[in-house]
Amino acid sequence: MQLALDVTMSNVQVVERSSSELDDIDALVRTYRPRLLRFVTFSIGDPDLAESITQDCFLKAYNGRDKFRGDCSVNTWLTSIALNLIRDQQRLQKFRFWRQARATAIDVSDAANFLASHESSAEARILAIERTEQVQAALANLSVNQRAIFLMRFAEDMDLSEIAATISMPINTVKTHLHRALKAVRAEVGR
Amino acid sequence: MNTMSSRQLTHLFHLSEDQIDDVLIGDLTAEPAAHLKQCAECQTRLEAAKAPMASFATVSMAWSERQSATAPITLAQAANSAGQRRANWVATVTAMLLVAVSIPLTMREKHTQVVASDTGVSTPAKPAAVQQASNNAEQAQVQPVAIVHHEHPAAQLAQDNEMLQAINRELDASVQSPSDNFGLMAVGGTAAHGRNAPVQTWD
């Protein structure tokens, strides 16, 4: 009984903390923008459009913060909003996204300079960039859902149930998408 | 005889590619997981399979953090201005609705008052909701008129009657009636016809 009460109290505290977190838009942006921008950018392949969608996502989250029930993390909630915005954008763009966006593709080669130099050697950083570009190339050939699910798993580090809830799919469908995406990525990397 | 359990068999065979994928996905069953714990070769294969995704996560995050740092967005301003725009819009619509409701009601009220004062018919009571909606506008435009004509009607009548009686008394004292020259007597014994008759009052 006491344990159940404690669990309920901790849930209430989590909801309250998350709600107050959503009230401060500056803190919200500071905390979640890099992750969200990455998810959107590598989902659609267009950095400029990703900036715009990310901003819309934060505005939508802030204006709709009363609807946040606290049954998932703020990051998961933001990701689901971003996913809906990406889908809206896809409908507008008639699925022209990624292939057309290749002309203005994300250049991660500069990112080698942003990696902490004390954590890895120059060779390791170059290898990391090379692998990233390979994954990026593989992502371009994935379906929209495969790409989103892959990013949620391997970039956002979300578990299967979280991904299924965010993308509103059965968990077995999520697994199928992940298996296919992984095979494609590993094939690209193994070339 | 020498039958091997499935657990022992599992330990003999390395993980398949699908099982490596299962580990990466986070969906590995217990037996391959047990093998993985003990098999250095499979652990090396797993690390090799993880490496591209780990690199992607690290480098893409570094890229995104850099993007966020170099191109800060002014979301607070945008959110505030969006909220301000919404508040202004709501206020404008409310004001327009209030005006749209109160103008016809005010005009109708004035018309009803004119008709009522002409015919002596009292104004019918408005429904409560309409009364509430037009209250503000009426306070500004209708009430001054209402105070003059309709507030305290009994007191107004009494005041008017008193004024008429005062005029009558003054006339009695200062103005000579033409009938006085003829010495006419009223039936009731008064000096002039109707001179002292009581003033008809408005009731």
Residues A126 and A166 in one domain: yes
Q: Which domain holds residue B178?
A: 149-203
- Contact criterion met (CB < 8 Å) for A132 and B56: yes
Q: Does an H or E element contain A87, and which?
A: helix A74-93
Q: Which domain holds residue A32?
A: 1-105
Residues A9 and A62 in one domain: yes
In a domain, residue B93? The reply is no
pLDDT of the residue at A33: 92
Query: Domain ends where: A54, A72, A105?
Result: A105
User: What is the C-alpha separation between B143 and B121, in angstroms, rounded?
Assistant: 19
Residues A57 and A122 in one domain: no
* Farthest CA pair distance, chain B: 161
Residues A85 and A118 in one domain: no
- Contact criterion met (CB < 8 Å) for A154 and B56: yes
**Taking CA atoms, what residue in A is nearest to B71?**
A51
Domain CATH for A145:
1.10.10.10
Residues A162 and A172 in one domain: yes
pLDDT of the residue at B169: 83
Residues A25 and A92 in one domain: yes
Query: Domain ends where: A105, A120, A144?
Result: A105
ipTM over 0.95: no
Distances (CA, A) of A54 to A37, B63, B94: 6, 15, 33
pLDDT in tens, B32-67: 888 888 899 999 999 999 999 999 998 899 888 888
How many structural domains is chain B composed of? Answer: 2
pLDDT in tens, A108-153: 776 666 666 555 678 888 888 888 889 988 998 899 899 999 999 9
Other CB atoms within 10 A of residue A116 CB = 9
Query: Domain ends where: A105, A127, A153?
Result: A105
Q: Name the one residue in this structure whose structure tokens are 């934060």.
A: A58
pLDDT in tens, B61-72: 988 888 887 765
Q: Does B61 touch chain A (CB under 8 A)?
A: yes
In a domain, residue B51? The reply is yes
Residues A167 and A111 in one domain: yes
Encoded amino acid at B37, one letter: K
Map residue A190 onto helix, strand or coil. Answer: coil
In a domain, residue B195? The reply is yes
Residues A10 and A84 in one domain: yes
**Residue B193 DSSP class:** T
Residues A19 and A92 in one domain: yes
**Taking CA atoms, what residue in A is nearest to B81?**
A59
